[in-house]
Amino acid sequence: MLKIKKKRLTDRGDRAVKRLAEIETCITGLADNDLLDRADKAELYTPSADMAFLEMTRRNISL
C-alpha cells in the first residue's frame, strides 16, 4: 500500500512540474501585446502573474 501511495504522489508531482513548464512556455511565447493584456488582467500575487511580470521585465516592456 505504501509503495502505491508513494508512486501516486510522485506521479502527481511529475504532472505538476510538467504543467508548470507548459504554462511558463505559453507565457514566454506570447507576443508583447498579448503579454501586456495578460499582465493587465492578472490578479496580483499569483504564479502566472509573477511569470508574466518577469517576462515583461526581461523584455523591457511595461503597462
- Dump pLDDT digits (tens) for 13-57: 999 999 989 988 888 888 988 888 888 777 777 787 888 888 889
CA distance 32 to 45: 21
Q: In this predicted structure, what is the pLDDT of residue 1?
A: 65
Mean pLDDT of 4-9: 89
Mean pLDDT on 7-13: 91
User: Which pTM value belongs to this model?
Assistant: 0.64
**10 vs 41, residue with greater confidence:** 10
- pLDDT for the residue 47: 80
